[in-house]
């Protein structure tokens, strides 16, 4: 069985001093690939360095809505350069976060729109972070003549919202919250999302799934989310692993084998 963690943050300081051990546990858990996702210029560069040093680890480069207000003037040129690296497979994470509002909303929107334009121009997939902002995100997408391929990462919305994203061609990625005991809206969304649009992730070191909830999360734990997704879709775990592996490889343009 091969499992693909489509979104993690091995660059996070919570892995300092134990990054190699987390990588080894990942492989031992049959998680053969993961994407380390940046949130600003510095973390994106670190993700690329980690990816270069580890087989099966890839990187994404972008500016998160939390960091939008601090984006340097030349941030787009720097992201463009990082996307040229052979281990960088996506632009992200980008999007809108109205829960924390660490950056002014108009700044979040401008920086997100600029990065979407770059993803479209370069024809690379984008990873979207959306929290308490699905309405504005969908409105933004509807106004565009062309959208990049991409992932709605750590999906948190309703069945109806998932349906709209799928219509627009996006993949829906589920993280640890899918395994929580009080997540019927996520179970419903996972039940209805077409099989060819499903992905799994950890968003580690955050959002550890049951039964390791409350601990620091890591890529190896994506198997618990996969197990829950297989249960919801009434499929063997091995089959769900194959489906989500092939979906991730197709999106990130990596060889399936």
The CB-side HSE value for 54 (13 A sphere, CA atoms) comes to 25
Q: What is the DSSP letter of 55?
A: T
Residue 175, classed as helix, strand or coil, is coil
Distance (Å, whole) CA 103 – CA 173: 25
Confidence of residue 116 (pLDDT cuts 50, 70, 90): very high
Distance (Å, whole) CA 92 – CA 126: 6
Tell me which residue has tokens 């984008």: 126
The predicted-structure confidence for 192-219, as pLDDT tens digits, reads as follows: 999 999 999 999 999 999 989 999 999 9
Gyration radius of the chain's alpha carbons: 17
The predicted-structure confidence for 140-154, as pLDDT tens digits, reads as follows: 999 999 999 999 999
For the chain, report the end-to-end CA distance as a whole number of angstroms.
12
Q: What is the largest CA-CA distance in the chain?
A: 49
Q: What is the pTM of this model?
A: 0.97
The predicted-structure confidence for 159-168, as pLDDT tens digits, reads as follows: 999 999 999 9
The predicted-structure confidence for 168-184, as pLDDT tens digits, reads as follows: 999 999 999 999 999 99
Query: What pLDDT sits at residue 56?
Result: 98
Averaged pLDDT for residues 30-49: 98
Averaged pLDDT for residues 37-49: 98
Is the model's pLDDT at 85 over the cut of 90? yes
DSSP 13-60: GGGTTTHHHHHHHHHHTTEEEEEEE-SSHHHHHHHHHHHHHSTTEEEE
Is the model's pLDDT at 226 over the cut of 90? yes
Average pLDDT, the chain: 98
Query: What pLDDT sits at residue 98?
Result: 98
Distance (Å, whole) CA 182 – CA 13: 30
Residue 76, classed as helix, strand or coil, is helix
Query: What pLDDT sits at residue 106?
Result: 98
Query: What pLDDT sits at residue 257?
Result: 85
Confidence of residue 34 (pLDDT cuts 50, 70, 90): very high
- Angle CA 155–107–157, to nearest 5: 15
């Amino acid at each position: 069985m091969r499992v693909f963690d489509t979104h993690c943050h091995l660059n996070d300081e919570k892995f300092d001093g134990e990054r190699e051990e987390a990588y080894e546990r990942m492989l031992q858990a049959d998680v053969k690939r993961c994407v380390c996702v940046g949130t600003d210029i510095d973390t994106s560069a670190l993700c690329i360095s980690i990816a270069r040093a580890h087989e099966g680890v890839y990187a994404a480069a972008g500016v998160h809505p939390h960091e939008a207000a601090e984006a340097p003037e030349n941030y787009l040129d720097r992201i463009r350069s990082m996307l040229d690296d052979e281990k960088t497979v996506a632009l992200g994470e980008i999007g809108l976060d109205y829960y924390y509002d660490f950056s002014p909303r108009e700044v979040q929107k401008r920086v997100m729109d600029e990065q979407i334009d770059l993803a479209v121009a370069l024809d690379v997939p984008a990873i979207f972070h959306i929290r308490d902002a699905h309405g504005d995100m969908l409105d933004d997408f509807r106004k565009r003549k062309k959208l990049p391929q991409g992932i709605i990462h750590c999906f948190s919305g309703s069945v109806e919202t998932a349906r709209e994203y799928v219509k627009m061609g996006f993949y829906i990625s589920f993280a640890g919250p899918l395994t929580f005991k009080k997540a019927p809206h996520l179970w419903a969304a996972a039940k209805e999302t077409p099989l060819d649009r499903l992905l799994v992730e950890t968003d580690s070191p955050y959002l550890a799934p049951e039964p390791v909830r409350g601990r620091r999360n890591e890529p190896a734990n994506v198997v618990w989310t996969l197990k829950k997704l297989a249960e919801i879709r009434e499929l063997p775990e091995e089959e769900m692993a194959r489906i989500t592996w092939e979906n991730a490889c197709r999106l990130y343009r990596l060889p399936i084998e």
